Structure 1
């Protein structure tokens, strides 16, 4: 195994632990402690933490430790302010480019989000791919790069907010319907309708995440 692949695997594992809350927001960990968790040397851990710091997930401390970035309402609102500036505009252009077959596929996937046995942790990766597929036809490589960064930054907030709602079966049904309705808006091929649907979707997600933090 190359040293680079060790760094990449360490980055992925630490990112997953942070997003899932296993490494708690605001908690400080030494490099040696994290290296012990993953059973590797602290050198690739240090490189992994530098990558995660660039994603806003950790704060490096002088010496050999790092703090998991605390959750913060101002950060949450800043993330969604940027998302509202980007996603509706890309969606306006994408709605006229998506094939009917792709919309059929996404509608079926959206309905599956409403399954009672699927919590937010179970569907998050598919949820990410779903939203990317809606925007991809009109998104540049830079659009995708920036959106992925914003989605990763929002993931901890979304997992907490929607995770608290998972025990309610009605929430699962609403979650599925919300995404089915989003695909239906794209089917209209009307840019204004699509932009309004995306903005509404983002506004509700931000409200749920904000309420969970409060």
Structure 2
């Protein structure tokens, strides 16, 4: 194996671990505030210590993990201050990109977005697949006008926000008709983009984000102090 092949293999392992550990956090296998040993996690995942450490550095940059040198790592607590910060930045970036993106979307782009929306209520899909489709929908909605830097920043924000979104919809996820309702709401969100109406598109996305933020805040309040970060 050449040095380049070994490096690419290591990067692939780290990328895979980022996805796997992130999913463990998002699905609650690793709960907010939980301490965990890097070596124990590496053993559970069947890999060496080094790629796990690299993966955790990436997850720390996404606000999902807190690393403490010489001590166990911690799953970042759910914090209403963090929630408001995440959405404050999203509300500045996403409507502005939406304003420009809606005039750049092609008919093929709209077909792809409709295909993703259909997956929200696909009974053959697991809940993780549905959230993946939701992530991809928002990515493809903004991609035509988003720079590489926009996408780097948004990916981190979306991953950080997903914990709060999952919390907000945890009870509803298994309510009959909920995923059809979400499919309908996203079709309504897509409509001004299809019509190439920048003002309506930016406004619709802003209202969509505000509604999700409100639901997440309500869920945090309902859970109480157990998952709220200590100040």
Normalised to the residue count of structure 1, the TM-score between the two structures is: 0.91
Select 1:124's aligned residue among 113, 128, 131. Answer: 131
Unpaired runs of at least 5, structure 1: none
Answering whether residue 25 of structure 2 is matched by residue 39 of structure 1, we say: no
Distance in 2 of aligned mates of 1:4 and 1:212: 37
Answering whether residue 189 of structure 2 is matched by residue 147 of structure 1, we say: no
Select 1:77's aligned residue among 81, 84, 108. Answer: 84
Which residue of structure 1 lines up, in the alignment, with residue 229 of structure 2? none
Which residue of structure 2 lines up, in the alignment, with residue 187 of structure 1? 194
Answering whether residue 36 of structure 2 is matched by residue 29 of structure 1, we say: yes
CA RMSD of aligned residues (A): 1.9
Task: Give 1:141 deviation, angstroms.
Answer: 0.7
Distance in 2 of aligned mates of 1:120 and 1:154: 16
| Equivalent position SS for 2:28 | coil
Normalised to the residue count of structure 2, the TM-score between the two structures is: 0.85
Q: 8 Å contact 1:120–1:163 — kept in the other structure?
A: no
Alpha carbons of 1:102 and 1:41: their partners in 2 closer, same or farther (altered >3 Å)?
Answer: closer
Task: Give 1:53 deviation, angstroms.
Answer: 1.5
Alpha carbons of 1:108 and 1:44: their partners in 2 closer, same or farther (altered >3 Å)?
Answer: closer
Task: Give 1:100 deviation, angstroms.
Answer: 2.2
Distance in 2 of aligned mates of 1:9 and 1:170: 33
Task: Give 1:196 deviation, angstroms.
Answer: 0.9
| Residues 79-123 of structure 1: CA deviation (Å, up to 9, x unaligned) | 011111011101111111111232133234324423466564331
Unpaired runs of at least 5, structure 2: 1-5, 222-231
The ranges of structure 1 where at least 4 consecutive aligned residues each deviate by more than 6 angstroms after the TM superposition are none
| Residues 17-50 of structure 1: CA deviation (Å, up to 9, x unaligned) | 1122211110001122212211223233222222
